[in-house]
Structure 1
Amino acid sequence: MNLFKKSSIVTIVVSLFILSLLAGCGGGGAPADDAKSAEPVNWTANSVWPPENHQSAGLQEFANKVKEATNGQVEITVQTGGALGFKGPELLKVVRDGLVPVSDILTSGVAGDEPVFGVVTLPFLIQNFEEGKILNEIARPYFDKVAEEKWNQKILYISPWPAAGIWSKEKIESVEDMRGLKTRTYDKNGALVMEAVGGTPYPLPFSEVYSSLATGVIDSVLTSTPTAVDAKFWEVLKYYAPINVTMATDLVTVNLDEFNKLDEETREALIAAGKEMEEEMWAKVAELDKQKEAECNENGIETVQPSQEFLNELSSITKDIREEWLKQAPPEAKEIVSEFLKQVGRQ
């Protein structure tokens, strides 16, 4: 074999060796970003609610859906009951800063940081569950935009609560019965309602509600039926008036930086899982409300159905709260309310 042929063979072998190295490093194949996105991801998801609560259960179900939809590429470990030490109002900042990648967040509970979220719990804006769903659908694009552009997170799904009523030690059948109440509220609008009827609002974290009732710091709570079951209100309270003050929702969000590290197919799988979860949660909650109220009744809580006169008086008393809030509200919130009233025929 002459020198030229030997040289050619060596050149071919070396070239093949280099190509094999490049292939192993991703050269000549998929982009490096795709290779990184193929690495399994394990996120921690935070919930302040007890594990049996429908929001916590929904978050766990969502984690299961994500694992299946991504073939195990994304695993979400759910921590409930405030195990991570977060109480709630700070959670927009917590997810924004990546202190926890995923969290369940009470929408109105973070309205102090992002006012547009307060539109969900404008008192007596909605009159039934279906109207709550309409309001959510109108608000969703606005919420998505502010979450991504201002708070560095993506909303995966929004889940409702049954409408809030008042749970108390004494029977509540009129506005007069509400005067002097010391009531735990979960957002600013609920606090304004109690002030308007002559009560005193206490914006306590959920974890402090039971002990505050037991020690007499408060004598009533503005909340929904699942929360009443979680807190075993029948041990410290006697009555429930379903006055439907507001219908709160929870956001489940993911840090946008973490979300964007995923490849496009995986991101789409998460979005699809979130859409499916949202549809399921809205379908479940109306029935859940009935079940949880029945559980409270079985344990000794008496439901006191409000008269139409009582409800009309509450709506009249809180009209100024809605109007004052809208005067100070972001333009987006005003657009949401305007479109909502148009769709439900109360423009």
Structure 2
Amino acid sequence: MLSFRKTGFLTLALAAVVILSLALAGCGGDKKAEPKAAGPVKWVANSVWPPNNHQTQGLQEFAKKAKEATKGKVDITVQAGGALGYKGPELLKIVRDGLVPMSDMLTSGVAGDEPLFNVVTLPFLIQNFEEGKILNDIARPYFDQVAEKKWGQKILYISPWPAAGIWSKKEVKSVDDMKGLKTRTYDKNGGLVVQAVGGTPYPLPFSEVYSSLATGVIDSVLTSTPTAVDAKFWEVLKYYSPQNVTMATDLVTVNLKEFNKLDKATQDALIKLGKDMEKEMWDKVAKLDKEKEAVSNKNGITTVKPSKEFLNDLSKVTKNIREDWLKTAPPEAKKIVEEFNKKVGRQ
């Protein structure tokens, strides 16, 4: 009888331990652990850009190479042109919440949610494409940290846009010529530049730009050459002023929980591929800028190169924008700008 009682007690105790363990697991006892994928995973990658845009093409190339590099363990399908219904500014939250596992997104376009990302488009911070790459390399570790710890996603690679200029219906050769312009902008800093020169910024999504130009809602656009070609600006605009106001980038991210489900070898393959893709995209874009400008010129857009005096005036007018933003910017942003200025020899 005593033996039976001991045995029964041990059985009940063991059962209690099992039940408690299951309960703890259900309550998130190990929050860091993610179930590993048993077989190949299928991810949908969102892009708001048209299929022929260099960002979309880069994403499609990444998807193709990812399948090869992971030996079929990761199968990515790219949905381009905003087919999934997302316009852009909300994408940081969309990927975080797992509504789409993977997406590209305009870095400064999601800065409404993450202010640190605005640092890449501080107006006239950089003076050429090479400095844009230096700024990106300095900012990348900070971006990685905030993306993973705060937004639950991993940055696979960052791809540049050519620097932005003004595309307009009238010729722009001075700050005075910019007064009164109704200009589409793609982020807060661009909007502040337009306000500083006496214009009115319109933060419209890309899908609404052409119709807004055609109907007179706006008469100019602050953007880069690939976007101008995508939108066929020559049908509704006449001039391009390559002022190098800002130089935007795109983040390509994946939901961190989805990424963590992959085995380490597959994760390492994607990380390496991302590094290779980032280098490839930066190498391509400088050449792409000239090619897209030539396409625009061939179709009727006249390029009006800004004088040194005009650029100096623009830098003076926008100085307060840079200084004011840094006063309230995240500490990481201040570190990035300080390191950048030191690297390029400016104060």
* TM-score exceeds 0.5: yes
State the partner residue of 1:92. Answer: 92
- Residue number in structure 2 paired with 1:306: 306
Q: C-alpha offsets along residues 23-43 of structure 1, whole Å, 9 cap, x if unaligned?
A: xxxxxxxxxx99953400000
Residue in structure 2 matched with residue 179 of structure 1 by the alignment: 179
In 2, the alpha carbon distance for the partners of 1:265 and 1:232 equals 44
Superposed, which structure 2 residues align to 1:1-347 within 5 Å?
Answer: 36-347=36-347
Unaligned runs of 5+ in 2: 1-32
Following the alignment from structure 1 to structure 2, what is the Cα–Cα distance between the partners of residues 34 and 179? 55
Q: What do the CA deviations read for 1:216-263 (whole angstroms, capped 9, x no partner)?
A: 000000000000000000000000000000000000000000000000
- Alignment partner, residue 30 of structure 1: none
Secondary structure at 2:77 match in 1: strand
**Match of 2:67, SS?**
helix
Q: CA deviation at 1:211?
A: 0.0
Is residue 94–residue 100 contact of structure 1 (8 Å, CA) maintained in 2? yes
* Aligned 8 A contact 1:170 1:238 in 2: yes
Q: Is the 8 A contact 1:38 1:73 kept in 2?
A: no
User: What is the match of residue 28 of structure 1?
Assistant: none
CA–CA distance in structure 1, aligned partners of residues 36 and 252 of structure 2: 25
> Amino acid of the residue matched to residue 259 of structure 1?
F
Once the two structures are superposed, residues 138-168 of structure 1 have per-residue CA deviations (whole angstroms, 9 ceiling, x without a partner) of 0000000000000000000000000000000
Show CA shifts across 1:108-143 (max 9, x none).
001110000000000000000000000000000000
Cα distance in 1, alignment partners of residues 80 and 46 from structure 2: 6
Query: How many angstroms apart in 1 are the aligned matches of 2:125 and 2:268?
Result: 34
Q: How far apart are the structure 1 equivalents of 2:309 and 2:203?
A: 28
Deviations 1:72-129 (A, max 9, x none): 1101000000000000000000000000000001000011100000000000000000
Structure 1 unpaired stretches of 5+: 1-32
Q: Letter of the aligned partner of 1:212 in structure 2?
A: S
Q: How many aligned residue pairs are there?
A: 315
Describe the shift of the 1:245–1:43 C-alpha distance in structure 2 as closer, same or farther (beyond 3 A): same
Counterpart contact for 1:195–1:201, Cα < 8 Å: yes
What SS class does the counterpart of residue 132 from structure 2 fall into?
Answer: helix
TM-score by length of 1: 0.90
TM-score, normalised to structure 2's length?
A: 0.90
Distance 1:44 1:238 in 2: 38
How many angstroms apart in 2 are the aligned matches of 1:38 and 1:50? Answer: 34
- Rounded to whole Å, the distance in 2 between the matches of 1:311 and 1:339 is 24
Instruction: Report the CA distance shift for 1:37/1:232 in structure 2 as closer, same or farther (over 3 A).
Output: same
Aligned counterpart, 2:15 = none
1-structure distance, mates of 2:50, 2:278: 20
SS in structure 1 of the partner of residue 112 of structure 2: coil
Q: Which residue of 2 aligns with 1:16?
A: none
How far apart, CA to CA, are the structure 1 residues paired with 2:297 and 2:71? 43
Alignment-mate amino acid for residue 146 of structure 2: V
Q: 1:34 to 1:244 in 2, by over 3 A?
A: closer
CA contact (8 A) 2:69 2:270 kept: yes
> Is the 1:202–1:218 Cα contact (8 Å) retained in structure 2?
yes
Per the alignment, do residues 151 and 172 of structure 1 end up closer, same or farther by CA in structure 2, a change over 3 Å counting? same
> What is the rounded CA distance, in whole Å, between the counterparts of 1:190 and 1:104 in structure 2?
20
Look up the equivalent residue of 1:161 and give its one-letter code. Answer: W
Separation in structure 2 between the aligned mates of residue 60 and residue 74 of structure 1, nearest angstrom:
13
Question: Residue type matched to 1:189 in 2?
Answer: N
- Secondary structure of 1:37's partner? coil
Shift of the alpha carbon at 1:175? 0.2
Relative to structure 1, the CA distance from residue 72 to residue 189 in structure 2 (aligned partners, 3 Å threshold; closer, same or farther) is: same
- For the residues of structure 1 that align with 2:170 and 2:296, how far apart are their CA atoms? 16
Contact 1:185–1:204 at 8 Å: present in 2 too? yes
CA–CA separation in structure 2 for the residues paired with 1:34 and 1:139: 29
Q: Is the alpha carbon distance of 1:293 and 1:146 closer, same or farther for their aligned partners in structure 2, counting shifts above 3 Å?
A: same
Report SS of the residue matched to 2:183.
strand
After superposition, give the CA deviation of every residue in 1:25-62 in whole Å (9 maximum; x if it has no partner).
Answer: xxxxxxxx999534000000000000000000000000
8 Å contact from structure 1 (residues 38, 263) kept in 2: no
User: Partner letter of residue 305 of structure 2?
Assistant: Q
SS in structure 2 opposite 1:120?
A: helix
CA contact (8 A) 1:34 1:263 kept: no
Q: Letter of the 1:79 partner, please give it.
A: Q
Equivalent pair of 1:147/1:154 in contact (CA under 8 Å)? yes
